[in-house]
Amino acid sequence: MRAYERFLNYVKIYTTSDPDSATAPSSARQLDLARQLADEMTAMGIERAHVDEFGIVYGWLSATPGMEDVPALGFIAHMDTAPDLSGKDVRPQIIEHYDGGDVLLAGSGHTLSPDAFPSLKKLAGMTLITTDGTTLLGADDKAGIAEILTAAEQVIASGAPHGRLCFAFTPDEEVGAGVDHFDVAKFGAAAAYTVDGGEEGEIAYETFNACSADVTVTGLSVHPGSSKDTMINAALVAMEFNALLPAADIPRMTEGYEGFFHLCAMQGDVEHAELHYIVRDHARAAFELRKQMLRHAEKTINERYGKPVVSVAIKDSYYNMAEKLADHMELIEHAKNAAKQAGMAPYTEPVRGGTDGCRLSYMGLPTPNLCTGGAAFHGRFEHIAVESMDRCARMLELLMTTERE
């Protein structure tokens, strides 16, 4: 079975995670895919495939004779789709011999255009899979799952020598809880790859450092006709707080290694206001400085009003995996070689985001991230090419069967 065939089966299953849930997994619907994957893995010969109490799917392939001393290697992808847009009732469009031009998303009337997504031109001549414009597609990261299992199936069928291989599919990556309950010791790999990247050839080992910041503003409401030196308008104070942060340090105006403050949500009235930020930077020192800037803005406003009007709660999310992968760069070289052999042009660039591999690397499992071939994740313009998926699956097959020291 080709990777895209598996993928089209997986996207039918509604697996959107729930950012407001405290359960694990955050949405029970993710278990529908988890159980299907465990059954599929068992049927193809992957050993001890099962879903644990937290909704994580695990499975293993024992080393072939003579390969027992090769360090165990893991492959990981996530089952959930992002809550940014509906992942229910996904209806993919398949465009054979894509001409590199505009694609009408028939369910919504939107147009997927190379004017907005220039990388589409590189997919000309391929078979393109898109959404119908009413949902996201789910290539992030059901494409990764499909490619891993397709590669594993080929390894089993070919009888190629390989070391011990470890597989895991996690829930809740999109809400930051993907590896909250991941059992590194049980998984048993010396190193791993997440397959959760973008365009074919991408190999990532540098990510952001990340945190969230929740800003709460407590105002004082009195009649506006007699509020001189008394009223504290929480909504206006929230605007003052945001104005104390660097105006150019926002996602729209940054790229590469440049960090940002991203105001994700705000709400408020005179008596109460809330701001929610995510904060990102590649350099740890710059990341810590950004957190200090938030604290300084809090202090400045509270001094301005003479009492604690603003409260800032900061929670670290993940750190740049480059710090933990510096001593494991052979993983990157192996991936580059496999990508080349699979017909791709490998490249590395800093990821302006994070993956489960960030946290896993800090949990003692070095885990860079590999491409799936997809693009425009989390929205109605998400797309992927069948041939890109084939090449990604081939890259994984080569990694599974390459002798490593």
Same structural domain for residues 294 and 222? yes
Q: Which of 18, 40, 80, 390 is catalytic?
A: 80
Domain end (from 290, 318, 346): 318
The residue annotated as part of the active site, out of 141, 147, 172, 173, is 173
- CATH code (residue 270): 3.30.70.360
pLDDT value of position 211: 95
> Is the model's pLDDT at 350 over the cut of 90?
no
Q: Which residues contact 91 (CB under 8 A, 6 or more apart)?
A: 107, 131, 132, 134, 135
Number of independent structural domains in the chain? 2
**Banded pLDDT at 363 (limits 50, 70, 90):** very high
80 is catalytic: yes
Does residue 138 sit in the same domain as residue 20?
yes
Q: Are residues 123 and 270 in the same domain?
A: no
Residues 191 and 251 occupy one common structural domain: no
Residue 259 · residue 287 · CB < 8 Å: yes
Digit-coded pLDDT (tens) for 220-266? 999 999 999 999 999 999 999 999 999 999 999 999 999 999 999 99
pTM: 0.90
Of the residues 283, 318, 353, the one at which a domain ends: 318
Average pLDDT for residues 277-297, to the nearest whole number? 97
**91 shares its domain with 194:** yes
pLDDT, residue 51, reads 98
> pLDDT value at position 150?
98
Q: Are 92 and 187 contained in the same domain?
A: yes
Q: What's residue 404's pLDDT? A: 55
Least confident of 57-66, 95-104, 330-339, 394-403: 394-403
Which range marks the domain in which residue 51 is found?
A: 3-206+320-401
144 and 100 within one domain: yes
Q: CB–CB of 132/106 below 8 Å? A: yes
Q: Which of 147-161, 210-224, 373-387, 391-405 is predicted least confidently?
A: 391-405
Q: Quick one: 234 and 191 in the same domain? A: no
Residues 138 and 193 in one domain: yes
Cα angle for residues 302, 286, 348 (degrees, 5° grid): 145
pLDDT at position 405 over 70: no
Q: Are residues 298 and 308 in the same domain?
A: yes
pLDDT tens for each residue of 187-230: 999 999 999 999 999 999 999 999 999 999 999 999 999 999 99
CATH number at 36 reads: 3.40.630.10
Same structural domain, 51 and 186: yes
Q: pLDDT tens, 142-178?
A: 999 999 999 999 999 999 999 999 999 999 999 989 9
Average predicted confidence (pLDDT) for the chain = 96
Residue 382 annotated as catalytic: no
Segment 296-322 mean pLDDT:
96
Domain final residue, candidates 264, 293, 318: 318
pLDDT category, 403, cuts 50, 70, 90? Answer: low
pLDDT level of residue 354 (50, 70, 90 thresholds): confident
Domain shared by 119 and 44, yes or no: yes
